[in-house]
Every structure is written in structure tokens, then in C-alpha cells.
């Protein structure tokens, strides 16, 4: 039978790379006709560098207000605080300068504004399965400082603090209008955060390539992105000032999102990672460092040929993908087990139950029929 499929293209307009962020952001604001720009910035970047101030200065009269201090995993309460600031500032554009939690929060802010949400309880209306939310009216320009690549999707991961559950809010219009990739903006990012979110991008590539629903368009980008990341991350570890290596990592991160952005689902590494982040406050980069090699070992019986392509893209033709990933993660000094982040076997049943409710575990390439099989993966990651 002739292969068939569907590639869904996003509403992103452009990606600018290798140029100073302040200049590029100002040009994007002018292009979009913005007159009231809300800057959502990493507190560390705003406090310890002049990079955010440069962006504000470049915006000039277009700058309206600044929000900073978004906690990890984008909790609902903080998202609502940022929504109130955007509403009070009558913002017509939001510029995010920071990591994945900040980027996702801005997407959720867009939905809160367009759906008149003014309480954390009202955010229940944005959950999947309910009536489709109203389309966002506010656009976003993202300047990422980590590599988790959420700026290239229309999905926003937001944590419900009441239940300690990370949910995914989605609308095609929440994807940023533009992304600015400036490697100099990542120099102040803590090494562990830059490198671990790089493995998060590796996770996007690998689970996209190994998906049972993979397709050639996404494969081409994810395989090249994986090669850039597998080369670039160790070079940044060896020399944190190497801007060319950081640029390779940023480009690899961009390419890593081709599967998700075009409709290819992720698998158990992402699904279990959601639970580890929301319930145990494990940074999402670390969840990929811990879970991806274990998931690959467990999945090998279902997709050995695909995994061989992963190993080859990482520079290990004929090798095992799980071992290549393990070696890359070890060389970066990242945690490689649940025990290393303080999660013991007593927590496994709760993790397994919750993982079954995530959007990705049910679409793992080796079918997962219940919590018992998630427990098998957790044992491999223990």
C-alpha cells in the first residue's frame, strides 16, 4: 500500500538566527505593528545581565511593561499573574526572553486573555476535551535561552498546583509569530540547564524518529537536528564560550520540533517526564536525561531499525541507540537514574498510574497497555 499521512504546518511566520536579539526583536515588533509590548523575562537574565534591558531599549516607545520570575513548569497561579499584567498593560504583543516555562506561560496567557479567564479555576475550561477555546488575539515573539524548543510548538505545558498535574493547553494560534535564536543570549544560562534542555531536544528528535507514526518530512529534520545536538552539546561542555557550538545546539533544537509541530506524537519518555516534573519538581531536561535511554531499551523490540538510524545520526553507526544516548548524557554530567534525583521504588506505582493519563504514553511505539508496563520502564531507569 502506498504510504499516506498528513503534515500539519504551523502559523509561525519566521525564525531569525545568528543576529543580536535586541535588534531582531525591535524589527519584529515593528513588523507586527505592536505599540504595547509586554516583555516576559527570566528573572536571572534580567538581574544578572543587560540583555533584557537592551531589548527594552531597542523597543523604545513600544515597551509597555515587564513580567519576570515565572517558576518552573508554568504553574497556573503565575500564568494568571502574567495574564493580569498583560490585561492591565493593554498589551498587543508579548516578547518572551527565557526558557521553556516562560515560553509556555506566554502561550497560556494568550488563551487566558482571549477566553476571559480571570481565576485559576476558570483555566479548567482550557483543558483538552472541552469546547475549543477562542483563538488568541495576542501574538508572541520568543527569544529562547534554553534548548527545550517549546517556542516551536502550539502546545503549552501548565501545572495545576491543586492536583500537581501538568496539563497541555493547545490552540494553533498560540505558536509564536517569530523566534529569535541568538547564541549570545544563552551565555548566562546555567550550564546544567542549557545542557539538560539540550537532551530534552534530543528527546524530541529521538521519540519523533522512533514513533510508529513517523513520517519522512519530520524524519529529515529530526535526524539532522539530532546530529547537530550530539556534536554541539559536548563542544559547549568543553568550552562554554563557543558560540558556534551554541548556535549548532539552537539550530538542532529548532529542527527537533519538526515531529511534534507536524503532528507526530511523542512516547513514554515525554509522558513519564510530565509526571516527574509536575509531581516531583524534576526539571524537564533532567526527566529526559533519566528516562530516554530506559524507554529506548524497552522499545527496542518494536523499532530496532528506527533506533539504528538514531545511533547512526549520533555518530555511532552499528551501535545501540540507548548506549549512545547514555554515553552522551554521562559525558555532559547529567543525572542518569531516578535514584540520582531522589525518587525511589516506593514512588513507582504512583508514577505509573499517572503516566497512563498523559497524552503520550498511550501512543508509545511499543504499546503500553497499563501501569505494569510503565513499571518495567521505571525499573530500567532506577
184-205 pLDDT, tens per residue?
Answer: 999 999 999 999 999 999 999 9
What burial class does residue 89 get, using C-beta atoms within 10 Å of its C-beta: 0-12 exposed, 13-18 middle, 19+ buried?
A: middle
Q: What is the pTM of this model?
A: 0.93
- pLDDT for the residue 165: 84
Confidence of residue 2 (pLDDT cuts 50, 70, 90): low
- 9 pLDDT more than 90: no
Asked which of 6-10, 243-247, 288-292 is least confident by mean pLDDT, the reply is 6-10
User: For residues 3 and 365, which has the higher predicted lDDT (pLDDT)?
Assistant: 365
- 1 pLDDT more than 60: no
Sign of the torsion angle spanned by Cα atoms 134, 139, 141, 145: negative
| Residue of 273, 268, 232 lying closest to 253 (CA atoms) | 232
Mean pLDDT of 3-14: 85
Asked which of 57-66, 166-175, 200-209, 217-226 is least confident by mean pLDDT, the reply is 166-175
Q: How many CB atoms lie within 10 A of CB 366?
A: 17
- pLDDT for the residue 256: 98
Amino acid at each position: 500500500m502506498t504510504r499516506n499521512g498528513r503534515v500539519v504546518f504551523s502559523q509561525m511566520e519566521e525564525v531569525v538566527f545568528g543576529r543580536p536579539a535586541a535588534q531582531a526583536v525591535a524589527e519584529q515588533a515593528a513588523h507586527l505593528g505592536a505599540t504595547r509590548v509586554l516583555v516576559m523575562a527570566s528573572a536571572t537574565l534580567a538581574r544578572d545581565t543587560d540583555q533584557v534591558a537592551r531589548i527594552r531599549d531597542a523597543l523604545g516607545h513600544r515597551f509597555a511593561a515587564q513580567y519576570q520570575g515565572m517558576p518552573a513548569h508554568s504553574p497556573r497561579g503565575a500564568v494568571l499573574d502574567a495574564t493580569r499584567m498583560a490585561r492591565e498593560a493593554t498589551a498587543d504583543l508579548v516578547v518572551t526572553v527565557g526558557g521553556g516555562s516562560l515560553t509556555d506561560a506566554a502561550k497560556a496567557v494568550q488563551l487566558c486573555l482571549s477566553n476571559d479567564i480571570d481565576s485559576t479555576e476558570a483555566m479548567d475550561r482550557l483543558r483538552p476535551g472541552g469546547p475549543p477555546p477562542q483563538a488568541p488575539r495576542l501574538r508572541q515573539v520568543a527569544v529562547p535561552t534554553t534548548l527545550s524548543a517549546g517556542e516551536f510548538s502550539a502546545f503549552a505545558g501548565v501545572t495545576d498546583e491543586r492536583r500537581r498535574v501538568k496539563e497541555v493547553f493547545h490552540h494553533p494560534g498560540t505558536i509564536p509569530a517569530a523566534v529569535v535564536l541568538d547564541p549570545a543570549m544563552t551565555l548566562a544560562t546555567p550550564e546544567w540547564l542549557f545542557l539538560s534542555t539540550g537532551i530534552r531536544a534530543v528527546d524530541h528528535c529521538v521519540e519523533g524518529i522512533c514513533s510508529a507514526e513517523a513520517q519522512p518530512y519530520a524524519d529529515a529534520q529530526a535526524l539532522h537536528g539530532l546530529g547537530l545536538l550530539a556534536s554541539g552539546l559536548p563542544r559547549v561542555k568543553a568550552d562554554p564560550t563557543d558560540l558556534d557550538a551554541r548556535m549548532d545546539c539552537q539550530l538542532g533544537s529548532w529542527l527537533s520540533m519538526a515531529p511534534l509541530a507536524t503532528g507526530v506524537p511523542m512516547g513514554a519518555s515525554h509522558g513519564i517526564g510530565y509526571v516527574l516534573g509536575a509531581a516531583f519538581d524534576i526539571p524537564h531536561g533532567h526527566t529526559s536525561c533519566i528516562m530516554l535511554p530506559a524507554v529506548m531499551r524497552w522499545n527496542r523490540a518494536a523499532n530496532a531499525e528506527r533506533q539504528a538510524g538514531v545511533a547512526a545520526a549520533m555518530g555511532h553507526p552499528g551501535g545501540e541507540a540507548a548506549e549512545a544516548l547514555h554515553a552522551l548524557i554521562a559525558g555532559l554530567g547529567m543525572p542518569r537514574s531516578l535514584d540520582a534525583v531522589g525518587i525511589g521504588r516506593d514512588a513507582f506505582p504512583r508514577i505509573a498510574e499517572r503516566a497512563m493519563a498523559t497524552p503520550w504514553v498511550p501512543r508509545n511505539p511499543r504499546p503500553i497497555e497499563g501501569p505494569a508496563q510503565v513499571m518495567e520502564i521505571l525499573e530500567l531507569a532506577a
